[in-house]
Amino acid sequence: MSGYVYIVGAGPGAPKLLTIRGLECIQQADVILYDRLVNPELLTYAKADAEFIYCGKEPGNHGLIQDEIHRILVEQAKLGKHVLRLKGGDPFVFGRGAEEAAILRKANIPFEIVPGITAGIAAPAYAGIPVTHRDHAASFAIVTGHGRAEKEQDFLNWAALAHIDTVAFYMSVGNIAHITKSLITYGKSESTPVAVIEWGTTENQRTIIGKLATIAQDIQNHRISNPTMILVGDVVNVREQIAWFAEKEHKLC
């Protein structure tokens, strides 16, 4: 007897930004494999007898390696269980959801993909920054900040990125010096506004604003750490007009 797997985006952090379909999947699941950035409050909606398996990944400390996650998904589904793979943000935006779906298809296990709100849009919105704007930005890119030139992993097209109006960098705090240098080298102005949003959409949200030439030092001075979104572009200036979220003090209603 084959079970079923839900691959669900849990959203950017605030529990009420989970989709209705995502909530239904949590309530139906027998087994829940969840990531580090999933808000723990979401797990309280699970069945009383649901099994929880932590799959969190952070630098130097992986809860489970990806191959082991694949094995558990297939194994539990083949036992006839409803299995939930719960991921921060959206499962198809730097979430490896496509890899997991491919493994399930190969094993002939039915699955459903439930999109989630990704942090590259949500965190700026909570900081009062639109990623597009009629007067400031007609193009928008989301980029992983993991690649390092010194490790020969820098596969990004910096020449193209330097000419996109708004660029959201995920997982980039540790690589910010390389990012800023690359953008400036390929034509981005040193004075381009940059927003750094730590723990976006949550009660711990903190935003700092700076310029491309100096934001790496600003991040160090303010001791910013992950999870953080870094937004580069003139739209950052719109924050002065529409910032609405009272950071550090706001209580979600």
Find the farthest-apart pair of alpha carbons in the chain and give their distance in angstroms, rounded.
60
Active-site residue, selected from the candidate residues 171, 211, 218, 234: 171
The residues, any chain, with a CB within 8 Å of residue 26's CB and separated by 6 or more, are 8, 32, 42, 43, 45, 46, 84, 86
Task: For residue 211, count CB atoms less than 10 angstroms from its CB and return exposed for 0-12, middle for 13-18, buried for 19 or more.
Answer: middle
Q: Is 151 a catalytic residue?
A: no
The answer to whether residues 219 and 192 touch, using CB atoms and an 8 Å cutoff, is no
The answer to whether residues 206 and 228 touch, using CB atoms and an 8 Å cutoff, is no
The answer to whether residues 80 and 3 touch, using CB atoms and an 8 Å cutoff, is yes
Q: pLDDT-based confidence at 153, cuts 50/70/90? A: low
Residue 251: its pLDDT value, please? 46
Q: Is 171 a catalytic residue?
A: yes
pLDDT tens digits along 83-129: 999 999 999 999 999 999 999 999 999 999 999 999 999 999 999 99
* Mean pLDDT, residues 173-198: 97
Name the pTM for this structure: 0.91
Q: Is 229 a catalytic residue?
A: no
Residue 185: its pLDDT value, please? 97
